[in-house]
Amino acid sequence: MTDRPRLYLSPPHIGDHELALVKEAFATNWIAPIGPHLEAFEAEVSSLVGIRHTLALVSGTAALHLALQLSGVRPGDEVWCSTLTFAGSANPIAYLGATPVFIDCEEHSWNCDPGLLAQALDDAARHSRLPKAVVVVDLYGQCADYEPIVAACSRHGVALIEDAAEALGARYRGKSAGSFGRAAIFSFNGNKIITCSGGGMLVSDDVELIRHARHLSTQARDPAPWYQHSEIGYNYRLSNVLAGIARGQLRVLEDRVLARRRINRMYQDQLGALPGITFMPMTDSSDGTTRSSRWLTVIQVDPALSPVTAEELRLVLTEDNVEARPVWKPMHLQPVFAGTRVIGGSVSERLFANGLCLPSGSAMSNADIERVVGLIQRKMGY
């Protein structure tokens, strides 16, 4: 090991306003899962994303749980989900006693393969076995190809839920990430593009869905002077204190996106010519109407062309106290989902086998990037 300072994959990057906003919460005694920061945060995300209704929650996972439940998912239903993702995309399916079915990604975007999805939905419709909902993930900050995905889901009347946990600030054909499904979720966990230490958001144009979600997220209290409940609720509401942090972070979101995009470009400039190294394909348009947030910079190391493997690079970085991680292990390869049906799977398996996520935090200096680049170049003999 080394005494070099730790370089994290994606640490929090706090701006100039968060502390003042938290102090305001203390000064006004709004230390509760209710208060002015919470309402302001919801309104700000609503106007940023261009979605009418928003609900701030304790996590992105909680938001997805409510989105699925309020899309009518019940025990025994099928819910289809991108396989190349974090467990937070799939666990809520299990919370509801539903059956996950995982679906492979396409080479072009690393997101849910629209052709595969459309064909599988057509097949399922013929056998009257349509899923109740489909969870599509915007991987590493890049939107999935929603035009054909939305068309396939609406043709079959299947609810589309967008998992935009990694994609706040991204766009697809002029619309913001988070605006493509019946509902969408964001995460403000510590490693995400902006953070309030832990938090999430459910967004939808469906006023009734958000109203019901708000009710369920606060223990489903009926309007009565005594505590009365007609449904099982959850304690999922975000704290007003954390909403203060989140509001400060929202003010610097665009800076954070631009910083991550710049870091990605520097890695590409300096590593793109090495044998066997390629980057996550970018679906960005030149006019900016489609853009990734580049939450993480991710490379593929082709073992047939590169003198080293992705795992060897990861170990070299780890030895120098640099955190790098494999691409998400596909859900259909997870022990907890053993035996689950998967539609396709070989693309995500290869991306996992050869993939490596590089440190991508928006506070990284040029020297930090050169440290990572230098370690990779030296290991590869350059």
Ligand X SMILES: *Cc1c(COP(=O)(O)O)cnc(C)c1O
Q: Could you tell me which of 316, 188, 205 has the C-alpha nearest to residue 244?
A: 188
User: Of 169-208, which residues contact ligand X (CB under 6 A)?
Assistant: 187, 189, 200
Does 12 engage in binding with ligand X (CB under 6 A)?
no
Q: Which is nearer to ligand X, 200 or 244 (CB)?
A: 200
Are residues 298 and 84 in contact, defined by beta-carbon separation less than 8 angstroms?
A: no
Distance CA 130, CA 139 (A): 24
The stretch among 58-66, 256-264, 330-338, 351-359 that binds ligand X (CB under 6 A) is 58-66
**96 forms part of the interface with ligand X (CB under 6 A):** no
Site string (100-119) toward ligand X, x via CB under 6 A = --------------------
Find, among 358, 201, 376, 351, the residue nearest to 295 by Cα: 358
DSSP state of 342: E
Q: Which of 22, 66, 98, 137 forms a contact with ligand X (CB under 6 A)?
A: 137
Stretch that binds ligand X, among 145-153, 160-168, 270-278, 282-290 (CB under 6 A): 160-168
Q: CA–CA separation, 335 vs 358, rounded Å?
A: 26
β-strands 297-301, 355-358 pairing: antiparallel
Kindly state whether residue 33 participates in binding ligand X, applying the rule CB under 6 A. Answer: no
Strand partners of residue 358: 297
Name residues contacting ligand X, limited to 71-90 (CB under 6 A): 85-86, 88-89
Q: Are 83 and 348 contacting, i.e. CB atoms less than 8 angstroms apart?
A: yes
Instruction: Report, in Å, the least distance between residue 329 CB and ligand X.
Output: 13
Q: Judged by CB under 6 A, which of 59, 142, 176, 340 binds ligand X?
A: 59
292 binds ligand X (CB under 6 A): no
Decide: is 166 part of the binding site for ligand X (CB under 6 A).
yes
Contact indicator for 199, 191 with CB cutoff of 8 Å? no
Of 278, 363, 254, residue with least CA distance to 327: 278
Does position 142 interact with ligand X (CB under 6 A)? The reply is no
92 touching ligand X, by CB under 6 A: no
CB 322 within 8 A of CB 375: yes
State the residues that interact with ligand X by CB under 6 A.
59-61, 85-86, 88-89, 137, 163, 165-166, 187, 189, 200
